[in-house]
A and B are shown apart, each in its own frame.
Chain A
């Protein structure tokens, strides 16, 4: 490359980034739904976080309403939403609550659940990250609501609290009951 031209690389990189930031700023938050909504839950086969419990696949959850939470004990927002999940799991509910751990935090995750309580009916480890890739997970925590037919109804990025639950999840759950 021309030496003079190379010197324009920093400004080009910056302008590209600025365009990206502008896009982030002006995008209407509610227009673009997750690409996965109304699609079937990807197929998976993953071991339990507790090795003695074997492994799980989609078939194990066929016909159930699923709430799938992707989490890790290293993630501060996961600590934040955990007390609400405990309350949620103790409430009267008709869905199956599935926790999916990141593969690099298994030991800490087990300790976390032992110390703070385990809100999940089933605990999976996303051993090679394949479920995260199939679900398009960008970080932790993320939570997916799946209906009896195995269709993803809603994807939530970030921690969940009582108000988000009431506003986003309750109406969807009421609709499929």
Chain B
């Protein structure tokens, strides 16, 4: 009965979404305020029914209702309760339900927090989001209903959740990722509205920015969590594989990064308007493309869902409608939203344009590498798990990011409209000299090795960090005290600097861990040891242990540092009862400057095991940097001006006032 209720709630949500995508639009063109204002309650209704539906599926999981086909495929009576709950989004149908729930949540949030928006704009935005809900609800109900029943042959036991997914990382990774993916639909809806109305002014950018930053921050965290999960759960000690599924999350992130920068100039200076609109469409389109690539089964990998060409066709149709129509609309309407302001070669506008070009080119390179083997995979059927080499992606991506770092330093110090070259020189010459000198000296002194890539990466990181410090000092200099000066800087300014600092931290993390990690797979009998730098790892042996739904071989590795007792690692190798699948659980001692990583490979007789030991310096900085970036993105939108609803409303009422406000702020 409960699953039917969930199904019914889905149908109701679909009906309301249909109304939401039609009625407010009709209201706009008939100038009927009542129809337009219906959009808000409809959003609330959709959200409530989606939430109800989600709760019903969770109930089915927690009560082991294996008559629901999806539950029987992704759960098991032995599964701990927490994983029963997270199993709700452990497969295709349930994660799609979560996806749509999030569309509904973003839509509802827009309807709640955009009180300052003129009603006709809000009605259009919400209607566009309604169309997205309709598409995906139809997709779910027609091809992937999570509430489908197995009534005649109800299994007594479920087949278990993929052991890879029985992990804390999975509890949080997909929701954050989807929040990011789906969050870009708000920017997309605003972009479509701008194309429809032909009005794209500072106020438009100011409404769009908070939603975009927030979605981007979610996506940043989602990707970082995924990478962290891969690092400790897959047992290879790698944190990024240029796997197609990683790439499809990374591409919207890159374009989203371009978008938040381009939105900033559009807000402040009214330039790059049609470019901003195109980026907003592209960011969400790439999110949809990612959804398509993973869910159609075109590419299989650790994340992949069941292969089903029919689903693929339906998704492709949605893509054609949502992306094709919006790009066509763009082609027709973009001239209407052209920018008018002028800028010169050394303005911040130009540096931001360079940033955008670099990010978009990286995205194009990654898209090419991701889709290239797709055709071959499709032709070769079950042939799965092919990788185009990371060397390809690294060759394309890393140099572009290097150039981006150089321009980041110049760009964030430059001024709008026009920056005197003398000012740039005064600000940056010392920074450049200091970062190159320290970038070479520090690694040289610490490691006593000449390593050009390291010198380059550390110099670039110092370049960004010193640039930030120089700029903060400069901007806070004219106040009574340094502290007062710093306090007077806006939150959006601090957000930007924190995010850029995060980028520098990531550069350091990636480069240092790639170059200085030691990874050894060795056969160790109990009592034998291996030394890496000043650490000694002693394998004490592995003993069988029982977990709630698995049996494990629990290894003990004692670590000595400089010959003294330091800590103990407990890597495990688990065999899950339900499916018999074997899962490596690495044990990692996380440190600020280094991670110690131990995982069990194969048993080699006589109590000996292949033990994988890694010493990974600075790997933590990769995720630290990502969290700084996300934090900066959120910090930037806590700025006062995004909360000044009344002002926004007044500004929107008169276009002249808007332009003025745009230039003053």
Contacts and interface: CB of A to CB of B under 8 A. Distances in A.
Interface of A: 3-4, 7-8, 10-11, 14-15, 17-18, 20-27, 29-30, 32, 72, 74-77, 79-80, 83, 102, 104-105, 115-116, 138-142, 156-159, 164
Nearest to A104: B391
A14 B312 contact: no
B376 A25 contact: no
A14 B335 CA distance: 20
Contact of B373 (A11, A116, A139): A139
Contacts of B388: 138-139
A22 B372 contact: no
A115 B313 CA distance: 45
B112 interface: no
Contacts of A7: 274, 330-332, 334-335
B390 interface: yes
Given A21-B298, A25-B316, A157-B380, A76 B387 contact: yes
B321 to A, nearest CB: 11
B284 to A, nearest CB: 13
A76 B243 contact: yes
Contact of B380 (A18, A29, A116, A140): A29
B444 interface: no
B330 to A, nearest CB: 7
B164 interface: no
B285 to A, nearest CB: 7
Given A10-B281, A14-B285, A104-B391, 18 more contacts: A7-B331, A11-B324, A14-B323, A14-B324, A14-B327, A18-B316, A18-B323, A20-B371, A23-B375, A25-B296, A29-B379, A29-B382, A32-B379, A77-B385, A138-B376, A156-B383, A157-B376, A158-B383
B489 interface: no
A24 B385 contact: no
B323 A22 contact: no
B520 A115 contact: yes
A10 B330 contact: yes
Interface of B: 236, 238, 241, 243, 274, 278, 281-282, 285, 292, 296, 298, 309, 312-313, 316, 319-320, 323-324, 327-328, 330-332, 334-335, 371-391, 520-522, 601-602, 610
Contacts of B236: 76, 79
A121 to B, nearest CB: 22
A18 B610 contact: no
Contacts of A142: 386
B386 A158 contact: yes
B143 to A, nearest CB: 13
B607 to A, nearest CB: 19
Given A77-B386, A159-B384, A11 B296 contact: no
A74 B390 contact: yes
A27 B281 CA distance: 29
A27 B379 contact: yes
Contact of B374 (A18, A24, A32, A156): A24
6 contacts: A7-B334, A20-B375, A22-B313, A76-B241, A80-B385, A116-B601
Contact of B391 (A74, A138, A164): A74
B260 to A, nearest CB: 20
Contacts of B610: 116
B245 to A, nearest CB: 12
Contact of B312 (A25, A29, A79): A25
A157 B383 contact: yes
Contact of B385 (A14, A115, A116, A159): A159
Contacts of A115: 520-522
Given A24-B378, A29-B382, A138-B373, A4 B323 contact: no
Contacts of B296: 25
A72 B386 CA distance: 12
A25 B386 contact: no
Contacts of B309: 25-26
B386 A138 contact: yes
Across chains A and B, which 3 residue pairs bring their CB atoms closest together, nearest first? Answer: A29-B381, A11-B327, A77-B385
B389 A102 contact: yes
Contacts of A8: 328, 331
B327 A157 contact: no
Given A25-B313, A157-B380, A74 B389 contact: yes
B385 A18 contact: no
Contact of A24 (B241, B298, B319, B334): B298
A150 B88 CA distance: 52
Given A79-B236, A140-B386, A24 B375 contact: yes
A139 B371 CA distance: 12
A105 B389 CA distance: 10
A7 B389 CA distance: 34
A131 B391 CA distance: 18
Nearest to A141: B386
B387 A75 contact: yes
Contacts of A17: 371
Contact of A27 (B238, B378, B391): B378
B324 A18 contact: yes
Contacts of B312: 25
Nearest to A76: B241
Contacts of B328: 8, 11
Contacts of B377: 24, 157-158
Nearest to B378: A24
Given A140-B386, A158-B385, A22 B316 contact: yes
Nearest to A21: B316
A76 to B, nearest CB: 6
Contacts of A156: 383
Nearest to A9: B331
A154 B584 CA distance: 33
A115 B271 CA distance: 57
B141 to A, nearest CB: 21
Contacts of B373: 138-139
A29 B296 CA distance: 15
B384 A158 contact: yes
A30 B272 CA distance: 48
B462 to A, nearest CB: 29
Contact of B381 (A14, A30, A83): A30
A10 B381 CA distance: 31
B327 A139 contact: no
A40 to B, nearest CB: 22
Nearest to B313: A25
